[in-house]
Amino acid sequence: MALLQRYRDSQRINHWIVALLFLCAGLSGLAFFHPSLFFLTNLFGGGPWTRVLHPYMGVAMVVAFVFLALQMWRDNLWTGADSQWMRQSAGLIAGRDKAAAHPAYKYNAGQKIVFWIMVVSLLILFVTGFMFWHAWFPEGNILMRRIAVVLHSASAAILILTIIIHVYAAIWVKGSIRAMTRGTVTETWAAHNHPLWHREVKERPPA
Ligand code: HEM
């Protein structure tokens, strides 16, 4: 079975650090979202500890994501092939025309939309988070703080839903998970899901 390299070791380590920090920041944040979720503070050593740790885990997640995004943003720029992929996506999602070629370079249109939602929501979470991190930053205007809290929760909700879609898609498109665990994908997977990337890789002169 012919294999193609999709990610380097460092990129995979970077990705799983982001995923782990997302889990920690997400669960500790949800604990404050509603009293019914407060039990989640047990995972982090109780209420006060969760309040102390949450912003640090959030900042660490954003910093780790920046390293990942710096390597991936170019491959997530929109192309004509993505508009065509979007037009075909209804059939793809419905499970029809499985055999049809869906034009995609390294990432398809759906992955690109997910990527940019991650970028924007993490940016909003980061900026608004500092606006009510009382331990280190001045409290400022009460109205601004309230707006920041609402924006922070809304972007967190959007990010969580987006990650659920991201994980679902990674499992749904068989053969994708190994890209992030072993760094390689099969040629069949590449030719079927990312035909334009497959062609690029095959045409690339050996390093
Ligand atoms: C358990 C959770 C997760 C799983 C199972 C997972 C799985 C994967 C897989 C299999 C890929 C490779 C897809 C491909 O190359 O076509 C990938 C790529 C990626 N993942 Fe995750 N992931 C998870 C969590 C996260 C989180 C929390 C973030 C960010 C907040 C994230 C950001 C990314 C990014 C930026 C890429 C590159 C794809 C792109 O730029 O569009 N992942 N993930």
Q: What is the CATH number of the domain that holds 144?
A: 1.20.950.20
105 lines ligand 1 (CB under 6 A): no
Rounded-to-integer distance, Cα 42 and Cα 44, Å = 5
Instruction: Tell me whether residue 93 is in a domain.
Output: no
Instruction: Tell me whether residue 94 is in a domain.
Output: no
6 lines ligand 1 (CB under 6 A): yes
Q: How many domains does the chain have?
A: 1
Minimum CA distance residue for ligand 1 atom 4: 167
134 is in which domain, residue-wise?
3-74+104-203
Q: Summarize the confidence of residues 69-96 as an average pLDDT.
A: 90
131 lines ligand 1 (CB under 6 A): no
Instruction: Tell me whether residue 164 is in a domain.
Output: yes
Positive/negative CA dihedral, 163, 158, 127, 22 = negative
Minimum CA distance residue for ligand 1 atom 19: 15
CA 151 distance to own-chain centroid: 19
Instruction: Tell me whether residue 89 is in a domain.
Output: no
Spacing, Cα 112 to ligand 1 middle (Å):
11
Sequence-separated (6 or more) residues with CB below 8 Å from residue 73: 115, 119
Choose which residue among 117, 124, 166, 176 to substitute to test ligand 1 binding: the one with the highest number of ligand atoms within 8 A of its C-beta: 166
Spacing, Cα 30 to ligand 1 middle (Å):
21
165 lines ligand 1 (CB under 6 A): no
Active site residues: 166
CA 172 distance to own-chain centroid: 16
Could you read off the pLDDT of 93-115 as tens digits, one per residue? 777 766 566 899 999 999 999 99
Instruction: Tell me whether residue 80 is in a domain.
Output: no
DSSP state of 174: T
Q: What is the pLDDT of residue 91?
A: 77
Q: What is the pLDDT of residue 28?
A: 98
Q: Summarize the confidence of residues 115-140 as an average pLDDT.
A: 93
197 lines ligand 1 (CB under 6 A): no
Spacing, Cα 134 to ligand 1 middle (Å):
32
- Range of weakest confidence among 17-31, 51-65, 126-140, 189-203: 126-140
More confident residue, 92 or 13: 13
Instruction: Tell me whether residue 158 is in a domain.
Output: yes
Instruction: Tell me whether residue 177 is in a domain.
Output: yes
126 lines ligand 1 (CB under 6 A): no
Could you read off the pLDDT of 14-53 as tens digits, one per residue? 999 999 999 999 999 999 999 999 999 999 999 999 999 9
Among 182, 207, 185, which residue's Cα sits nearest to residue 198? 185
Q: What is the pLDDT of residue 97?
A: 63
Spacing, Cα 111 to ligand 1 middle (Å):
9
